[in-house]
């Protein structure tokens, strides 16, 4: 009987040593959770034994339980590295077409593969949800593989230009009929912005501001477009001012307090066609009838320097992926070379009722089991789910000092049980030598 007790103690010590050694070996494994060997005594009795004098039968391993408290952070400055601050797990799938067959992990080291899918080092696909571009809300909690397209959007022709400007009251008044964009002395200020045709080809749109001496507090504005062959005038179809060279522009009239009184005599500011039959820009096969509407947004004339508060247009060229960011809600936001910021989806989050019941799959991954309860899907920073931190990874939750102490303790337990086994052997030997 003593042999069996000592052997069970040696087995338990070995299990404790193995568990501690595994913890130490994974001290630098991202998302790893330490394990703890838990033991119970063995006690057996029968009708032939006296319960008051019966000794225990040794020890047995009850369970090797994983501890899911959070590990510390390591900052990587890689936006695809993710950490969950709080409760929850990422979900990854081996097959992007079967997201329902997924595992859970706290290891957020992700990257883009050759198809621009977000994957981990094992090539498994990160799962998330689709998002409505207008409302920024999740459209469905049906998990899907997350992809970051390297291109975004069809070309969009510029049709509207929004301008917000302060024109200096102290500017020198000039004869607006003498305007010539090639003569810098014929205007006071100018600025430009890129516009796009129906094929996404860019052109420079310039605006020239002349403080008009034909009326108090009046400014004349002229427009030009620049293609591969040079700068060309763009006329306003119902212009409020006309230069001697035939260049038609618009007018801004201000009140004595600097606020705008009237824009282009109350008429919309619409350009002529940009193509060959109008401004004569070389559009290289794009829509020749494209026109522009100029929208002045509360222009002012104050005793302050010339200032552009707004100068934007609604066109766009095809965008190429420039960078990817992931916010605290898990929203995947891609920035493209055409200036578009697009929310492509939201990283899915999973939690279970009992984390201790999860089944370890290796590779710092777990699967739901009967004891853990079913997977509960949700969003980061919502309800019981933690937030997502980009550019950060969760280190293992191993306390190396404690593990080394546990290692020494397990070693001493092993030695003590080995000594007990040796003593049992000596006693048996003594008995066998009795004559």
Give residue-wise pLDDT tens across range 316-328.
888 888 889 999 9
Q: What DSSP assignment string belongs to 289-356?
A: T---EEEE-S-B--SS--EEEEEEES-BPPEEEEEEEE-TT-EEEEEETTS-EEEEEEE-EEE-S-GG
pLDDT in tens, 375-401: 999 999 998 999 999 999 999 999 999
- If phi > 0 it is left, if psi is from -120 to 50 it is alpha, else beta; for residue 368 that is beta
* More confident site: 70 or 53: 70
Those residues with Cβ within 8 angstroms of residue 272's Cβ, 6 or more apart along the chain or in another chain:
234, 235, 236, 237, 278, 279, 291
Would the pLDDT of 4 be above 90?
A: no
Give residue 48's pLDDT band: very low, low, confident or very high (50, 70, 90): low
Give residue 425's pLDDT band: very low, low, confident or very high (50, 70, 90): confident
Strand 160-166 relative to strand 293-296: parallel, antiparallel, unpaired?
A: parallel
Would the pLDDT of 2 be above 70?
A: no
Give me 312's structure tokens. 């934007």
Q: What average pLDDT does the chain have?
A: 91
Tell how far CA 156 is from the center of its chain: 26
Would the pLDDT of 54 be above 80?
A: no
- If phi > 0 it is left, if psi is from -120 to 50 it is alpha, else beta; for residue 359 that is beta
pLDDT in tens, 207-233: 999 999 999 999 999 999 999 999 999
Would the pLDDT of 435 be above 70?
A: no
Distance CA 224, CA 179 (A): 12
CB atoms within 10 A of CB 261: 13
Would the pLDDT of 276 be above 70?
A: yes
CB-facing half-sphere around the CA of 225: CA atoms within 13 A: 28
Burial class (CB in 10 A: 0-12, 13-18, 19+), 245: exposed
Name all domains of the chain by residue range, CATH numbers in brackets. Answer: 2-69+396-432 (no CATH), 73-152+320-394 (no CATH), 160-313 (2.60.98.20)
In the chain, % of residues over pLDDT 70: 97
Q: Are 347 and 326 in contact (CB under 8 A)?
A: yes
- At residue 45, the pLDDT reads 63
- At residue 41, the pLDDT reads 81
Distance CA 157, CA 195 (A): 8
> What angle do the packed helices 2-25 and 400-432 form, to 10 degrees?
160
pLDDT in tens, 182-201: 999 999 999 999 999 999 99
Strand 73-75 relative to strand 35-42: parallel, antiparallel, unpaired?
A: unpaired
Tell how far CA 278 is from the center of its chain: 45
Would the pLDDT of 1 be above 60?
A: no
- At residue 117, the pLDDT reads 95
Place of tokens 């009929």: 177
Give residue 53's pLDDT band: very low, low, confident or very high (50, 70, 90): low
Q: Are 183 and 208 in contact (CB under 8 A)?
A: no
CB atoms within 10 A of CB 297: 12
Those residues with Cβ within 8 angstroms of residue 294's Cβ, 6 or more apart along the chain or in another chain:
161, 163, 221, 223, 236, 250, 269, 270, 271
- The helix/strand/coil state of 129 is strand
Distance CA 120, CA 108 (A): 8
**What is the arithmetic mean of pLDDT over 169-192?**
96
Would the pLDDT of 204 be above 80?
A: yes
């Amino acid at each position: 009987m003593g042999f069996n007790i000592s052997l069970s103690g040696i087995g338990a010590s070995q299990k404790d040593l193995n568990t501690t050694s595994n913890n130490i070996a994974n001290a630098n494994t991202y998302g790893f959770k330490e394990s703890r060997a838990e033991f119970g005594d063995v006690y057996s009795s029968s009708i032939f034994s006296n319960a008051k004098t019966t000794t225990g039968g040794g020890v047995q391993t009850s369970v090797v339980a994983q501890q899911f408290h959070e590990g510390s952070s390591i900052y990587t400055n890689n936006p695809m590295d993710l950490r969950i601050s709080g409760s929850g797990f990422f979900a990854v799938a081996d097959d992007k077409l079967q997201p329902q067959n997924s595992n859970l992990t706290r290891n957020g080291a992700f990257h883009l593969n050759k198809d621009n899918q977000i994957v981990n080092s094992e090539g498994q696909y990160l799962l998330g949800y689709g998002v409505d571009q207008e409302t920024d809300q999740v459209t469905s909690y049906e998990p899907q593989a997350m992809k970051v397209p390297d291109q975004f959007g069809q070309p969009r022709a510029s049709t509207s230009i929004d301008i917000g400007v302060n024109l200096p009251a102290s500017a020198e008044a000039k004869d607006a009929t003498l305007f010539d964009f090639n003569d810098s002395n014929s205007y006071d200020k100018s600025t430009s912005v890129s516009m796009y045709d129906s094929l996404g080809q860019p052109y420079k749109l310039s605006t020239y501001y002349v403080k008009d001496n034909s009326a108090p507090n009046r400014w004349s504005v002229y427009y030009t477009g620049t293609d591969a062959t040079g700068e060309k005038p763009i006329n306003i179809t119902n212009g409020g001012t006309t230069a001697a060279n035939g260049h038609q522009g618009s007018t801004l009239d201000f009140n004595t307090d600097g606020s705008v009184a009237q824009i282009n005599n109350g008429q919309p500011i619409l350009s002529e066609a940009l193509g060959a039959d109008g401004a004569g820009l070389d559009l290289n096969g794009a829509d020749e009838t494209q026109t522009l509407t100029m929208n002045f947004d509360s222009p002012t004339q104050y005793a302050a320097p010339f200032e552009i508060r707004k100068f934007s247009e609604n066109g766009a060229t095809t965008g190429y992926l420039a960078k990817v960011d992931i916010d605290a809600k898990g929203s995947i936001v891609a920035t493209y070379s055409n200036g578009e910021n697009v929310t492509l989806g939201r990283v899915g989050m999973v939690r279970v009722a009992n984390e201790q019941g999860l089944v370890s799959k290796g590779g710092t991954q777990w699967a739901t089991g009967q004891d853990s309860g079913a997977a509960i899907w949700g969003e980061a920073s919502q309800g019981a789910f933690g937030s997502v931190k980009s550019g950060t990874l969760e280190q293992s939750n191993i306390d190396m000092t404690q593990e080394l102490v546990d290692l020494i303790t397990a070693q001493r337990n092993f030695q003590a049980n080995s000594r007990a086994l040796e003593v049992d052997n000596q006693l048996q030997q003594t008995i066998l030598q009795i004559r």
